[in-house]
Structure 1
Amino acid sequence: MRPGGAALEYRNSGIWRDSTPVGDLRRWCRETPDAVAVKACRAGVGPTEMSSVEIGYAEYGRHVERFAGALYELGVRPGQVVSCQLPNWWQAGALLLAAMRLQAVLAPVMTTIRPRELERVLARVGASVFVTVDEWAGFDHAAALREMAPRLPQLRHRVVLGKADDGEIEFGSFFEDTPWEQRHPVALDDAVEDPDRVAAIFFTSGTSGEPKGALHTHNTLYATVSAIAEENHIGPRDVLFTPHSAMHILGHLLALLPLSTGACSVLLDSWSGERGAAVLARTGSTVLIAAPFFVEDLITAGSGQPQDLPALRMVGCGATTVPRPLVAEVPRCSGWRCRAGGA
């Protein structure tokens, strides 16, 4: 169907487009296959102890195709809901893109959401596949899902990243180690893209009542992503770090941002100001986009003194009210350029 009315106007103005993040990934796999797509950092025991992995665009594309094949094997087809509750690990981003490749509807859930709210979300969206972590931040997510599963008749498959129990699918062996892309039609080059179909459901916090599910298309998300990229001149040479959860709409948008421009995305799974400063330094991040309290943590971690971050050219601070003193404090203590509302 050809777009008309407001949709046509949005397309003509460049606010909307005819492709999706799957098309972005396909483009960079072809044009810059060896460029780093993701730098993923996992927190260790010490305050700045971390392990990290770098994944190039071509390799990332292969992971996405394999994960899409795994979802296809589990019966996921266009319009079906795939939900997940994962930390900021590279597998989370590849899984979300894999679901997009199949034209499934994403329903990400933050790891801070506990069983009562999680069960309500899964029941309301009718998720057929749910992917979670075995344990995170001292909470047994797999056990919680196991307990509620009998009350979720539409939930056909429970996938656990980590230790899986009977009746569950272990993510590593099923998604990462099995070459499903050789058995199923999931190549990025063959993707059918429809940026105007419902692509994701994000739930509100519920502070003014019960959480409400907001439906998004790829284009309603792209309108925000493209505006941030244009306003902040983000391009293929940038390395973008955001500490926000990729399971939250803001973190999801900021994960799509580097993908849309061919830049590199930096992930950190467990936040502290000390770890954040270490990540910025070790990854050579050029852009940080974060809510005010993250930026305040970074300043506190440095005791208000200038930090040695020569690659960092800009801090985008937003998502909520940005205190005026913080806008002045950022360049004073560190020399960073701070843009209020950059997120």
Structure 2
Amino acid sequence: MADRTTAVTQPRPPAPLREGETIFTALHQVASALPNHLALMSGGAGGERATRITYSQLLEHVERFADVLTLCGVRRGETVALQMPNCWGSATLLLACLRIGALAVPIPQTVTTHQLEHTLATTGASTCVVYDGHHGHHNAQELLAVSARLPDLRHRIVVGDARTTGALDFERLCRDRSGVWQADEEHPHPLPRDTDNPCLAIPDFNHRTPTTINYQHKRLSTHALTTTHAAANSGEPRTPMNEIFGTTYPLTHPTGLTTAIWQPILTAGTSVFPELWNPAECLDLFEESRVTHIAGPPEHWQQLIEEQRRRPRRLPQLCHATTHGSAPAPLAVGVRKAFGIPLHIHPDH
């Protein structure tokens, strides 16, 4: 994996998106111009080294995973549910769904069996990909238990032990896809251009009956760029177009997806996020990666403040801190004292 020290230190941003262009236009531009630039850095839980993925590697994985979904029969317009841990593979699989024009539905691993079944039923998911055995989550068994009551569900795909539940083995599918499409051939899936149609359906489990909120390519890109430009115009010192976006929001949350995927790719930046929430390990990861931005929910910020007071980390490039929703007034004071920068509070979107 490429280290950030080997990347171009001042990458130029992709060209502004034109009508009909999506995040994949920017991804191809950055992967072509800056193949060794660090795209994302994730993990670092339990003392393990964080995984680093360059832009060329990210594009390669997205195309490979898109091939796997195609081999499973997923077609443009169908719904693919993803119940995965907070890791680089989750971000890549989500992009692969969007790459072939499918509607992606990210689902937390912690939902109840009833919530899982309700979400799969109401979204009409034809395929569900789960990661089994991750930190005690046995999502493959739970998916098998509800699958008989889901007539739209055609494929159960498991990362991990697929044999026990009779599901498709994702890792085997990845090995078997060799020869399906070569980089020098015309890709069987043109880049998606339907920027006004939903590409993401994010479940909201804060209600008795879960609901989903749809997001379009245009809405996600516009929000990501607006947020980035707001940071650029905030008057805080920063390094233009070499941003390192850290987030403690999960990849099942709109802000987590914006900060971990859309903002970095649209600005040729780098995404940094933990696999598991742990304030000490999270700050260690942010210190190692030299983040310039941190986004997190209020409860995470409070724990980060306490951890930074306990053992200060050097974050010399950090210039922007954000949270969403309602945050208590003392939180902003705590962020400024612990990290030396103001906390920007944005409304939920």
- Identity rate of aligned residues, in percent? 26
Tell me whether 1:204 sits opposite 2:210 in the alignment: no
Could you tell me how far apart the structure 2 residues matched to 1:31 and 1:119 are? 43
> Residue 107 of structure 1 contacts residue 202 of structure 1 at CA under 8 Å; is this kept in 2?
yes
The match for 2:297 among 279, 287, 291 is: 291
Deviations 1:67-124 (A, max 9, x none): 0011111111110001101111111111111111111111111122121010011011
Deviations 1:241-294 (A, max 9, x none): 101111222212222211111100112110111111111111111111111111
Deviation (angstroms), 1:323: 1.7
Deviation (angstroms), 1:308: 1.7
> Residue 16 of structure 1 contacts residue 220 of structure 1 at CA under 8 Å; is this kept in 2?
no
| SS of the residue 1:191 aligns to | coil
Deviation (angstroms), 1:297: 0.9
Give runs of ≥4 in structure 1 deviating > 4 Å: 14-17, 183-186
The corresponding residue for 1:76 is: 74
Distance 1:34 1:305, change over 3 A: closer
Deviation (angstroms), 1:40: 1.5
Distance 1:147 1:18, change over 3 A: same
Distance 1:175 1:186, change over 3 A: farther
> Residue 79 of structure 1 contacts residue 105 of structure 1 at CA under 8 Å; is this kept in 2?
yes
Distance 1:217 1:180, change over 3 A: farther
Deviation (angstroms), 1:150: 1.4
The corresponding residue for 1:232 is: 231
The corresponding residue for 1:3 is: none
Could you tell me how far apart the structure 2 residues matched to 1:54 and 1:283 are? 10
The corresponding residue for 1:163 is: 161
> Residue 63 of structure 2 contacts residue 96 of structure 2 at CA under 8 Å; is this kept in 1?
yes
* Paired AA for residue 59 in structure 1: Q
The corresponding residue for 2:236 is: none
> Residue 68 of structure 2 contacts residue 174 of structure 2 at CA under 8 Å; is this kept in 1?
yes
> Residue 97 of structure 2 contacts residue 103 of structure 2 at CA under 8 Å; is this kept in 1?
yes
Tell me whether 1:300 sits opposite 2:298 in the alignment: no
Deviation (angstroms), 1:342: 8.8
Q: Which runs of 5 or more residues in structure 2 are unaligned?
A: 1-15, 233-238
Could you tell me how far apart the structure 2 residues matched to 1:267 and 1:178 are? 29
The corresponding residue for 1:134 is: 132
TM-score after normalising by structure 1: 0.87
Deviations 1:289-312 (A, max 9, x none): 111111111111133664322232
> Residue 324 of structure 2 contacts residue 345 of structure 2 at CA under 8 Å; is this kept in 1?
no
Deviation (angstroms), 1:15: 11
Could you tell me how far apart the structure 2 residues matched to 1:151 and 1:189 are? 32
The corresponding residue for 2:339 is: 334
> Residue 67 of structure 2 contacts residue 177 of structure 2 at CA under 8 Å; is this kept in 1?
no
The match for 1:270 among 276, 279, 283 is: 276
Could you tell me how far apart the structure 2 residues matched to 1:24 and 1:15 are? 8
> Residue 70 of structure 1 contacts residue 180 of structure 1 at CA under 8 Å; is this kept in 2?
no
- Provide the alpha-carbon RMSD of the alignment: 2.5
* Paired AA for residue 150 in structure 2: L
**Alignment of structure 1 residues 1-343 onto 2, 5 Å:** 17-44=19-46, 49-166=47-164, 167-175=166-174, 178-179=177-178, 181-182=180-181, 187=187, 190-207=190-207, 209-233=208-232, 236-255=241-260, 256-303=262-309, 306-316=312-322, 318-341=323-346
* Paired AA for residue 29 in structure 1: A
TM-score after normalising by structure 2: 0.85
* Paired AA for residue 24 in structure 2: V
> Residue 287 of structure 2 contacts residue 315 of structure 2 at CA under 8 Å; is this kept in 1?
yes
Deviations 1:125-169 (A, max 9, x none): 111111111023423111111111111122111111222225212
> Residue 84 of structure 1 contacts residue 130 of structure 1 at CA under 8 Å; is this kept in 2?
yes
> Residue 85 of structure 1 contacts residue 111 of structure 1 at CA under 8 Å; is this kept in 2?
yes
* Paired AA for residue 214 in structure 1: I
Could you tell me how far apart the structure 2 residues matched to 1:305 and 1:183 are? 49
Distance 1:24 1:175, change over 3 A: same
Larger displacement relative to structure 2 (153-162 or 184-193): 184-193
Distance 1:109 1:264, change over 3 A: same
Q: Which runs of 5 or more residues in structure 1 are unaligned?
A: 1-13
